[in-house]
Amino acid sequence: FSSRRRHTRLQGDWSSDVCSSDLLITLLLLPLLGALINGTVGKNLPKVVSGVIGTSAVALSFGIVVILFNQNINPIKVHLFNLIEFDSFKINVSFLLDHLSIWMALIITGIGTLIHVFSMGYMAHDEGYYKFFTYLNLFIFAMLLLVLGSNYFVLFFGWEGVGICSFLLIGFHYSDPIKGIANSLASRKAFVMNRIGDAGLIFALFMLLNTFKTLEFDGILNVINSQSFTLDNFLLIGITLCLFLAATGKSAQIPLFTWLPDAMAGPTPVSALIHAATMVTAGIYLVVRSNFLFELAPFTKEIVLYIGVATSVVAAFMALRQNDIKKVLAYSTVSQLGLMVVALGLGAYTVAIFHVTTHAFFKALLFLGSGSVIHGMSDEQDIRKMEIGRAHV
């Protein structure tokens, strides 16, 4: 890639920018490399080696993100190549390093590393150990694509990637003689409901391309700054509503929220990684990244606010009536996501990202803690049967 790479910077030292771009490419390739190794030869490796490879790939990525975070760099765009180029528009494969993308990458790789470590012990008895780490590494790679892309096209590839990995991880135990069918149905439900939201993202991309002739975040912002768009322009309302439909699917808002509790059929580390810390916050990230569009559509922001309030209240009451320890946490997650969406509807984007950060840590810990409790109770998940005297410690 080095011969075709171009760097766009606002200000700062050029050598520092080149170093940062090299680190960015390495950051993206490490989880992909871990997935390729485990996916091709992992079956023939000892479980410990397979787990160490998968965990080390994400841990090294986290170390790179920490270096980038400490550099306090100005926004840098790393251009790899042009995918499609016409007279009227072109679509690039490029990545953006700014405060938002680095912060999200810190959450993804940091919590991802801890969950990989937990998984090494939690999944030690499982026959598909190497496959599990292959899917986890692929998920981390797709999530990094989503948050580091400098345009909606790269974001869309990451968006679809996390959807596929989610499907594979939720239905991981599809061959289980007791719960195999339920696991398969849960993964299929998550996949289909996310496709509804993805349709909204595709429509939004076509409308953005038709209106602004680019899918680059900074290109769209430049067009908005150079032209006078009226508030609640019909086209902007359509674009933002489609973007919010996509966020509704990924971030489990009314009416596309029922897939998240059913997704608890997956192994507990999957619940912690995908459905608490990273994937479900992709919709929040999408709206925050598109804030310059939502600010021009107050009508859409009102809808976002009302949907967030409704989701938060309804999911909280539903959590009160659950008996499965993981489903209690699942509905709690939906409620907390509703609070983040409320912040988005009020235009408090910084507050939304702050709660994304806090929620990622405390809900991941709750899920991993519930996994330990389930193991201690001999795979019992019904909280009504979890009496202290009956625990097998």
- pLDDT tens sequence across 244-291: 999 998 888 888 888 888 887 778 788 788 776 678 888 899 999 999
Mean pLDDT of 156-161: 90
Q: What's the whole-number average pLDDT of the chain?
A: 84
Structure-token match 């409790």, residue found: 373
Is residue 38 within 8 Å of residue 123, measured between CB atoms?
A: no
Give 106's pLDDT tier (boundaries 50, 70, 90).
very high
Q: What whole-number distance in Å separates Cα of residue 187 and Cα of residue 191?
A: 6
pLDDT of the residue at 64: 92
pLDDT of the residue at 2: 34
Structure-token match 């439909």, residue found: 245
Percentage of residues in the chain having pLDDT higher than 90:
28
pLDDT, greater one: 90 or 390:
90
Query: Strand, coil or helix: what is 267?
Result: coil
Query: Is 130's pLDDT higher than 60?
Result: yes
Within 10 Å of residue 357's Cβ, how many Cβ atoms?
16
Where is average pLDDT lowest: 19-23, 155-159, 308-312, 388-392? Answer: 388-392
Give 6's pLDDT tier (boundaries 50, 70, 90).
very low
Backbone angles phi, psi at 386, to 5 degrees: -95, 75
Q: Measure the N-to-C terminal CA separation of the chain; round to a whole number of Å.
A: 53
Query: Is 228's pLDDT higher than 80?
Result: no
Q: What whole-number distance in Å separates Cα of residue 145 and Cα of residue 124?
A: 29
pLDDT of the residue at 74: 78
pLDDT tens digit string along 117-126? Answer: 988 888 878 7
Measure the CA dihedral 301/303/309/311, to 10°: -120
pTM assigned to the model? 0.87
Within 10 Å of residue 255's Cβ, how many Cβ atoms?
11
Nearest alpha carbon to residue 136 among 61, 240, 239: 61
Q: What whole-number distance in Å separates Cα of residue 371 and Cα of residue 174?
A: 19
pLDDT tens digit string along 96-105? Answer: 888 899 999 9
Mean pLDDT of 97-114: 90
Helices (H), the chain: 14-41, 47-71, 99-122, 129-148, 152-170, 180-212, 217-226, 234-250, 259-262, 268-272, 282-289, 291-294, 298-319, 325-345, 349-376
pLDDT of the residue at 18: 64
Q: Is 358 exposed, middle or buried (0-12, 13-18, 19+ CB in 10 A)?
A: exposed
Q: What whole-number distance in Å separates Cα of residue 57 and Cα of residue 349?
A: 31
Q: Which residues contact 347 (CB under 8 A, 6 or more apart)?
A: 291, 294, 295, 301
Give 17's pLDDT tier (boundaries 50, 70, 90).
low
Q: What whole-number distance in Å separates Cα of residue 286 and Cα of residue 266?
A: 25
Tokens of 335: 């409620």
Query: Strand, coil or helix: what is 214?
Result: coil
Query: Is 318's pLDDT higher than 80?
Result: yes
pLDDT of the residue at 70: 87
Query: Is 178's pLDDT higher than 80?
Result: no
Mapping DSSP onto H, E and C, the string for 174-203 reads CCCCCCHHHHHHHHHHHHHHHHHHHHHHHH
Q: What whole-number distance in Å separates Cα of residue 106 and Cα of residue 92?
A: 25
